[in-house]
Structure 1
Amino acid sequence: MTSNQEDKLSMYYVVKNTCEKYQATWTTNAVFAATYNLWAEKIPLIEANRDIQALGISGVTISKSEKREIMIVNTLFVEKRVQSYANVENNSELLESIKYTASDLKKARDNDVVAMCNIVYTKARANAPAIETYGVTEDIFAKLQNSIAEYSASLPQPKAARSQAKTATENLSKYFKEADNLLAKRLDLDIELFKTTKPEFYSQFKTARIVIATGGFATSVIGCITNTTTGQPMKGATITFVATNGGTTKAAATAPTKPVVKRSANKGKFRASLHENTYRVTVEKIGFKKQELTISVARGESTDLNIGLEKE
């Protein structure tokens, strides 16, 4: 997401928390309730596309590279066993047909390296009974065949991931626009219903609607939320940053006091753009004990914040 979208999503979370706090006030008002529910439905759509966009293609590319390496290692083992057999039998034709070096396989293009590995497998399979004593068992054949199949299946994945990320970026623009329109053209108007009957709700809603632009003055807090029992990453935890404004720097003194709210994405990860300051951090998820701590962030530096939650 862009920094502007991150700032808006943080604002959405505060608006949502405020409305949930005062749900008893507006739930019987059909006009406000219908608009709020329609707007709130946009948040999980934004989160889902944010997660897809954040994944990018790096993980897919790494997986593809790892599968290629495994396939090459398996191929070279079988190839050398066949070459040993060919040398003993003075079978120059067989020997010349599979003289691929590690460099040949590593430098070959995707489809070419698959073809080379398949040739080695086919030649070895044709001499299966004879090369069994050279260490090429049925398990080895299966291992090579499976690694070729897994690498072949991974070839279209980076392109698919790029396509998914592009679609997610387009969807984010669409859903943010729809959410903003619902806020500006309906909720910001409907909140007037409560200006006199529930002034505290009205006031907190107006405050929540302020977007804090963290842009060029921000530093990053990057972290991961995990389950302390299983060690598994946790999606959907709420991380709230509240500036203490107790710093001594000019940036800390002028930093906004409006909370910054984030939610952990796939694999438990989150990123927050914050002004230089000291922050009280609260991490919450239904069914788990709330975690509270204090951190300090410095301008221009990235702060790591990894937190484990215990079941209640």
Structure 2
Amino acid sequence: MNQFQENRLSMFYVVQRTMDENNAIWVGTAAIVAAKTAFDGKIKSLEDVLEIQLRDIRGHAKDKVNAEEAMIELTLDVAGKVMSYAVASNNEALAEAMNISPSELRRYRDSVVAQRCQGVHDAATAELASLVGYDVDAAKLTALQALIDGYLAQNTAPRVALTGRKNATAEMALLVEDTLELLHRRMDPLMQGYAITEPVFFRLYTDARIVVDLRGGSEPEPPPPTP
């Protein structure tokens, strides 16, 4: 939310509070009730979008790191045991495939490290019947597969969160514009009649409609959008 939008959201809240505190004056007018309901809905939508904008996406990156570390640790455990079995069985091809170091896995890019771990899982699965004495069983391989799948899910989470924030920023601009138009073209004209019948309420409303720059001072309200 930029300063322009923040100033107007603050104005929206003041208008909302002014209307709520003087509900008895206008509640009998159906057109105002409908406009106020729509106005409240716009504010709720703005709050929902703002929550997305302010959401701390750093947690997604931390979750991704944690998921990767857990996957790597179990992969190294399985790979080491399968390598030991392969050496004892004179299966040099399998032994070489399982000869993985922690630094090797950690230097791979996101999708590659998952593929490498998946390869260890699949190789161990193929030799599962022979790994009973090496503390590698179906449960351990199921756990490794779950960690690989979990990492792949976490791998996309930061990008999804960034996309959500970008979309929220665009939606925020549209919602602020729509809410301003609702005030200009529906609420303000309906309030004009109270200048004579309820002058105190009308003054409160017009004062509430002033956009105050939260950094100090006030700023003129732009003209309503061209329909």
Structure 2 unaligned residues grouped into runs of 5+? 219-227
Is residue 114 of structure 2 the alignment partner of residue 114 of structure 1?
yes
TM-score, length-normalised on structure 1?
Answer: 0.64
Question: What is the distance in 1 between the residues matched to 2:31 and 2:122?
Answer: 70
Aligned to 2:225: none
Is residue 155 of structure 2 the alignment partner of residue 155 of structure 1?
yes
Question: What is the distance in 2 between the residues matched to 1:202 and 1:66?
Answer: 58
Going by fraction, where is helix more abundant, 1 or 2?
A: 2
Structure 1 position 155, deviation (Å): 3.2
Question: What is the distance in 1 between the residues matched to 2:23 and 2:81?
Answer: 72
Structure 1 position 120, deviation (Å): 0.6
Going by fraction, where is strand more abundant, 1 or 2?
A: 1
| 2:201 aligned partner, one-letter code | F
Aligned to 2:55: 55
Q: Secondary structure at the match of 1:10?
A: helix
Q: Deviations over 1:5-51 (max 9, x none)?
A: 12221221221121111112111123322322222221111112212
Structure 1 unaligned residues grouped into runs of 5+? 218-254, 257-312
Question: What is the distance in 1 between the residues matched to 2:6 and 2:44?
Answer: 14
Is residue 169 of structure 2 the alignment partner of residue 169 of structure 1?
yes
Is residue 187 of structure 2 the alignment partner of residue 211 of structure 1?
no
Question: What is the distance in 2 between the residues matched to 1:103 and 1:198?
Answer: 76
Aligned to 1:73: 73
Aligned to 2:224: none
Q: Deviations over 1:243-281 (max 9, x none)?
A: xxxxxxxxxxxx99xxxxxxxxxxxxxxxxxxxxxxxxx
Residues 104-253 of structure 1 mapped to structure 2, 5 A cutoff: 104-215=104-215
Question: What is the distance in 1 between the residues matched to 2:140 and 2:10?
Answer: 53
Structure 1 position 123, deviation (Å): 1.4
| 2:213 aligned partner, one-letter code | A
8 Å contact 1:36–1:187 — kept in the other structure?
yes
8 Å contact 2:80–2:98 — kept in the other structure?
no
Aligned to 1:271: none
Aligned to 2:221: none
Q: Secondary structure at the match of 1:87?
A: helix
Structure 1 position 117, deviation (Å): 0.5
Structure 1 position 136, deviation (Å): 1.6
Question: What is the distance in 2 between the residues matched to 1:72 and 1:178?
Answer: 50
CA RMSD after TM alignment? 2.2
Aligned to 1:230: none
Say how many residue pairs are matched: 218
Greater relative CO (CA pairs within 8 A, separation 6+): 2
| Higher CA-based Rg | 2
Aligned to 1:30: 30
Q: Deviations over 1:50-84 (max 9, x none)?
A: 12222264333322222222111111111112122
Q: Secondary structure at the match of 1:156?
A: helix
TM-score, length-normalised on structure 2?
Answer: 0.85
The 10-residue stretch of structure 1 (39-48 or 202-211) with the greater mean CA deviation from structure 2 = 202-211
Q: Secondary structure at the match of 1:136?
A: coil
